[in-house]
Amino acid sequence: MASDFAIEAQGLSKSFGDLRAVSSLDLKVPKGQIYGFLGPNGSGKSTTIRMLCGLLTPTEGSADVLGTRIPGNARLLKPRIGYMTQKFSLFVDLTVRENLQFIAEIYSYPAADRRTRIDELLQKYDLQMQSAQLAGTMSGGQKQRLALACAVLHHPDLLLLDEPTSAVDPQSRRDFWANLFRLAENGTTILVSTHYMDEAERCHRLAILDRGVKVADGTPTELQAKTGMNIVEVSAEDPYAAQAALAKLDKVASVTQLGVRLRVLIPQQYGDPLEIVRGALEAAQLTARTHITEATLEDVFVAVTMKADDA
């Protein structure tokens, strides 16, 4: 019976000497969805992706990727996965078309169909005007589109993207995600790592990684509903003083300043969160407006990493 998951990992771990980069990771990535890895640099995102595509051998644990056991015969995965790294890794001294032709040869794409497929990708990823341009002279957004075109040239079932939008402008990021949604709608499973909260919100499901450990997973809505925190938004005339006053309270888990606004996280085990905040501000003789608001993914990330620290 075929699995509903493109990736199923059990206890996946990787150590480099004394450094535990990934620890006991369990993972299930549904087919045809965009699954995100959210976490800061050093959280284990890249190491996990490299293990899943067979570039790194796990220290412990295993995974089934498109029905192939890892560690094992990772060679079988090559024709079925696309991989795009954070750093532009194509040939800067080849033209756009030449890079695509080279990738087609690597994947043994049928020679009779190569030109048609390359022309299709040039049009789909808005690279027709750059087809004869050297890749090294392109803008960041153009390089990103070329890298994605190369990664999907052979129609992979699974696309692994490691911080793919870290070096491009906001418009290029939006266009890139529009392309990802089209790929997912056509049945491609996508695993994408990011440290951008707005990108994580676009994923169908995501896992939050912190120092090699998965501290939460689910849909963005599920994660936001399970923070275990009440979030109070404060608009203060003196936000710096308000932050200082609130940060002293034992019942306040976190205070983050966003311009003139503050986001205050208070564990749900405590009483009226508005009274806690208002009492501290009044005691400090500070004027502010307060109200309860919904959790963002940034609030989720703060909450779950704090729980991990306390565990």
pLDDT band for position 309 (cuts 50, 70, 90): low
For residues 108 and 126, membership in a common domain is answered with yes
Q: Is residue 307 part of a domain?
A: no
Residue 172 confidence (pLDDT): 85
pLDDT band for position 129 (cuts 50, 70, 90): very high
Tell which of 195, 218, 241 closes a domain: 218
- Total domains in the fold of the chain: 2
Q: Is residue 303 part of a domain?
A: no
For residues 138 and 189, membership in a common domain is answered with yes
Question: DSSP states of the chain as a string?
Answer: ---SEEEEEEEEEEEETTEEEEEEEEEEEETTSEEEEE--TTSSHHHHHHHHTTSS--SEEEEEETTEEESS-GGGGGGGEEEE-SS--S-TTSBHHHHHHHHHHHTT--HHHHHHHHHHHHHHTT-GGGTTSBGGGS-HHHHHHHHHHHHHTT--SEEEEESTTTTS-HHHHHHHHHHHHHHHHTT-EEEEEES-HHHHTTSSEEEEEETTEEEEEE-HHHHHHTS-EEEEEEEESSHHHHHHHHHT-TT--EEEEETTEEEEEEETTSS-HHHHHHHHHHHTT--EEEEEEPPPHHHHHHHHHHHHHH-
Residue 305 confidence (pLDDT): 83
Q: Is residue 50 part of a domain?
A: yes
For residues 41 and 188, membership in a common domain is answered with yes
Q: Is residue 82 part of a domain?
A: yes
For residues 195 and 127, membership in a common domain is answered with yes
pLDDT digit string, tens, across residues 273-299: 999 999 999 999 999 999 999 999 989
pLDDT digit string, tens, across residues 254-278: 999 988 899 999 999 998 999 999 9
Residue 34 confidence (pLDDT): 97
For residues 268 and 210, membership in a common domain is answered with no
Mean model confidence pLDDT for the chain: 92
Tell which of 161, 183, 218 closes a domain: 218
Q: Is residue 83 part of a domain?
A: yes
For residues 126 and 19, membership in a common domain is answered with yes
Residue 234 confidence (pLDDT): 97
For residues 248 and 268, membership in a common domain is answered with yes
For residues 203 and 233, membership in a common domain is answered with no
Average pLDDT over residues 236-260: 93
For residues 207 and 275, membership in a common domain is answered with no
Residue 105 confidence (pLDDT): 95
For residues 149 and 248, membership in a common domain is answered with no
pTM of the predicted protein model:
0.89
Answer with the residue of higher pLDDT: 191 or 89: 191
Domain that holds residue 124: 5-218
For residues 206 and 132, membership in a common domain is answered with yes
pLDDT digit string, tens, across residues 29-60: 999 999 999 988 889 999 999 999 989 999 99
**CATH code, 64:** 3.40.50.300
The answer on pLDDT for 125 being more than 90 is yes
pLDDT band for position 80 (cuts 50, 70, 90): very high
Residue 115 confidence (pLDDT): 96
For residues 202 and 233, membership in a common domain is answered with no
pLDDT band for position 2 (cuts 50, 70, 90): low
Residue 140 confidence (pLDDT): 87
Tell which of 156, 188, 218 closes a domain: 218
Q: Is residue 309 part of a domain?
A: no
Task: Give the rounded percent of residues in the chain with a pLDDT score beyond 90.
Answer: 75
Q: Is residue 60 part of a domain?
A: yes
Average pLDDT over residues 165-184: 87
Q: Is residue 166 part of a domain?
A: yes
**CATH code, 290:** 3.30.70.100
